């Protein structure tokens, strides 16, 4: 088992910085997802942890041991990549056994570990097959099995299920999470898929353009994003942003938009008064934190329905609000129709304000 410290780590390729002063602590046995868009530096980070990529500056420690200059084979890690490269002529058993054979582990121990891993991954019945005779998900499980049998201190997974179809991916999410919990092995899991990160990880490290934006539990990341970028990246359908400004109305601060004024709650007002100097702000509210009705309600803002989209158990409604578009997620029973007026109320305390210049969250 291992805890991991990433201490102000930089990665340069030539003069381009791919990872900028990354600081991240991963506890022993924890499942941390590194989440961010393509090119943000996720794989570079993982490859530095694995020892496959030189660390330009900073320090990486496993436990209290500095590993910067330790070769990959001495790091007690197992990696799984999206391109899992099984040996086509070896059976599933031999593919999984291979890393142990290379280390000269005893045959009986190998058999025992492969069978245990195969049982966890439910591929015990496939051990004599070759990769050509497996489905994508079964191949993936074989590659993961090959990582498990090593009984490493640390798993490093880089988009291991990215190329599977949506249904299988959803299935594998649950299986991988369960596997990691059963084994208790520390996991650092790279993905650009927020659903994977939100559903599997104990904590998520969100990166953008080489810079760590926020580290927190899935709940913290979703409910308390530290800036507008994180708020916009995490959440599906995405959060709505409305630009406006702060104005005092009757002694109370309001978020003021072209079509409505929204009073801040006292605690929100205190945060803004003590910490914000501008008056332009960006408001953010998630589609499921807006209530929509076809009848007027006190305190509701009037908009106009642009289109309704039933999506199985939910309904998405595009609303025009003072020239902006707001997406609302509601129940499929919603009876509004195109071009009709509608009324929106925001869930108390469930909306956000961001600074206009830097996008930093005020609340």
Ligand X SMILES: Nc1ncnc2c1ncn2[C@@H]1O[C@H](COP(=O)(O)OP(=O)(O)OP(=O)(O)O)[C@@H](O)[C@H]1O
Binding site for Mg ion (CB under 5 A): 43
Minimum Å gap between C-beta 142 and Mg ion is: 22
Strand, coil or helix: 181:
helix
Site for ligand X in 5-34 (CB under 6 A): 13, 18
Kindly state whether residue 355 participates in binding ligand X, applying the rule CB under 6 A: no
Determine how many CB atoms are found less than 10 A away from the CB of residue 24.
20
Compare residues 16 and 219 and give the one whose CB is closer to ligand X: 16
Compare residues 42 and 169 and give the one whose CB is closer to ligand X: 42
Minimum Å gap between C-beta 36 and Mg ion is: 9
How many Cα neighbours within 13 Å face the side chain of 361? 20
Distances (CA, A) of 309 to 14, 102, 285: 48, 56, 19
Minimum Å gap between C-beta 67 and Mg ion is: 21
From the list 6, 33, 43, 292, which residue makes contact with ligand X (rule: CB under 6 A)? 43
- CB burial class (10 A; 0-12, 13-18, 19+) of residue 73? exposed
Question: Under a CB-based contact definition with an 8 Å cutoff, are residues 84 and 143 in contact?
Answer: yes
Helix residue spans in 103-193 (DSSP H): 107-120, 136-148, 166-183
Kindly state whether residue 54 participates in binding ligand X, applying the rule CB under 6 A: no
Number of residues that bind ligand X (CB under 6 A): 11
Compare residues 46 and 264 and give the one whose CB is closer to ligand X: 46
Minimum Å gap between C-beta 323 and ligand X is: 35
Compare residues 18 and 147 and give the one whose CB is closer to ligand X: 18
**Selected range binding ligand X among 35-43, 223-231, 337-345, 349-357, rule: CB under 6 A:** 35-43
**CA angle 174-180-185, nearest 5°?**
165
Minimum Å gap between C-beta 46 and ligand X is: 8
Kindly state whether residue 41 participates in binding ligand X, applying the rule CB under 6 A: yes
* Stretch (H or E) spanning 60: strand 57-62
Binding mask 136-175 for ligand X (x = CB under 6 A): ----------------------------------------
**Selected range binding ligand X among 39-47, 216-224, 277-285, 352-360, rule: CB under 6 A:** 39-47
- Strand order of the sheet with strand 186-191? 77-81, 154-158, 186-191, 31-35, 203-208, 211-216
Residue 41 binds which of ligand X, Mg ion, none (CB < 5-8 A, kind-dependent): ligand X
From the list 22, 32, 42, 228, which residue makes contact with ligand X (rule: CB under 6 A)? 42
Q: DSSP letters of 244-309?
A: EEEEEETTEEEEE-SS-EEEPPHHHHHHHHHH---SEEEEEE-GGGEEEESS--TTPEEEEEEEEE
Question: Under a CB-based contact definition with an 8 Å cutoff, are residues 264 and 252 in contact?
Answer: yes
Distances (CA, A) of 177 to 32, 145, 189, 198, 270: 11, 14, 11, 11, 41
Compare residues 43 and 194 and give the one whose CB is closer to Mg ion: 43
Point out which residues bind ligand X (CB under 6 A).
13, 18, 36, 38-44, 192
């Amino acid at each position: 088992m291992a805890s991991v410290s990433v201490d102000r780590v930089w990665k340069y390729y030539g003069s381009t910085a791919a990872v900028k002063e990354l600081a991240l602590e991963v506890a022993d046995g924890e499942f941390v997802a590194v989440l961010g868009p393509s090119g943000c530096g996720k794989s570079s980070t993982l490859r530095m942890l694995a020892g496959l990529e030189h660390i330009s500056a900073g320090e990486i420690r496993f436990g209290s041991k500095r590993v910067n200059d330790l070769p990959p084979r001495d790091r007690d890690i197992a990696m799984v990549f999206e391109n899992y490269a099984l040996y086509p002529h070896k059976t599933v058993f031999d593919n999984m056994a291979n890393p142990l054979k290379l280390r000269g582990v005893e045959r009986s121990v190998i058999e025992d570990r492969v069978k245990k891993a195969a049982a966890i991954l439910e591929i015990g019945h496939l051990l004599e097959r070759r990769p050509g005779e497996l489905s994508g998900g079964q191949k993936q499980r074989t590659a993961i099995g090959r990582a498990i049998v090593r009984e490493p201190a640390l798993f490093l997974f880089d988009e291991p299920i990215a190329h599977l179809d949506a249904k299988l991916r959803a299935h594998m999410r649950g299986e991988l999470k369960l596997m990691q919990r059963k084994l208790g092995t520390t996991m650092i899991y790279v993905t650009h898929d927020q659903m994977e990160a939100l559903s599997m990880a104990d904590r998520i490290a969100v990166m953008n353009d080489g810079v760590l934006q926020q580290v927190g539990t899935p709940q913290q990341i979703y409910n308390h994003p530290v800036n507008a970028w994180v708020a916009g990246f995490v959440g599906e359908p995405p959060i709505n942003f409305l630009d406006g400004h702060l104005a005092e109305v009757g002694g109370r601060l309001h978020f003021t938009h072209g079509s409505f004024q929204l009073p801040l709650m006292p605690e929100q007002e205190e945060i803004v008064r003590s910490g914000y100097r501008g008056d332009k702000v960006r408001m953010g509210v998630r589609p499921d934190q807006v209530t929509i009705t076809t009848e007027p309600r006190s305190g509701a803002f009037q908009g106009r329905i642009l289109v309704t989209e039933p999506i199985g158990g939910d309904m998405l409604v595009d609303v025009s609000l003072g020239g902006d578009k707001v997406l609302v997620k509601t129940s499929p029973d919603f009876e509004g129709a195109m071009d009709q007026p509608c009324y929106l109320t925001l869930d108390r305390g469930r909306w956000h304000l961001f600074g206009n210049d830097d996008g930093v969250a005020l609340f």
